[in-house]
Structure 1
Amino acid sequence: MTTDPTTLHWVKSSYSNNGGTCVEWAPASTSSTSAVPVRDSKDPHGPVLVIAPAAWSAFVAGIKAGELSA
């Protein structure tokens, strides 16, 4: 799987606010690679985390349920 940030189509999380705490993911590559690329939108050329789909689903469910609020 490529994790080159320039070749992936990144989508900002709808749960990100305008305060700079933004997460982006590349959903199109997830179906072809069985991995979820995730990055910090403030550092688009920085590191990309590659997360297992089950872990990503659990993370998103936790966010939606308010379990991971600061």
Structure 2
Amino acid sequence: MSETPWRRSSHSGMDNGNCLEVRDDVPATVPVRDSKRPEGPVVNVPAVAWADFIDHLKRRA
């Protein structure tokens, strides 16, 4: 992957609690990792599934 930084949701706050980080620079997939374990595993979610997940969360908010 390139040097594009991981990003955290603006809803996560800055207290380093339980957060997921994502990257936007990988075609057709969204890499997701635990912010507390940046060296740990990365889950690659298909971009379409990630968009559906985010839309679902927005409708529930």
- C-alpha distance in structure 1 between counterparts of 2:16 and 2:59, whole Å: 21
Q: CA deviation at 1:53?
A: 0.8
Distance in 2 of aligned mates of 1:15 and 1:60: 13
What does 1:49-64 align with in structure 2 at a 5 Å threshold?
49-64=43-58
Q: How high is the TM-score relative to the length of structure 1? A: 0.67
Ranges of 4+ aligned residues in structure 1 off by more than 4 Å: none
Mind listing any 5+ residue stretches in structure 1 that lack a counterpart?
none
**Quick one: structure 1 residues 62 and 19, their matched pair in 2 at CA, closer, same or farther if it must change by over 3 Å?**
farther
Q: SS of the counterpart of 2:11?
A: coil
Where is the strand percentage greater, Structure 1 or Structure 2? 2
CA RMSD of aligned residues (A): 2.2
Q: Identity of counterpart residues, as a percentage?
A: 37
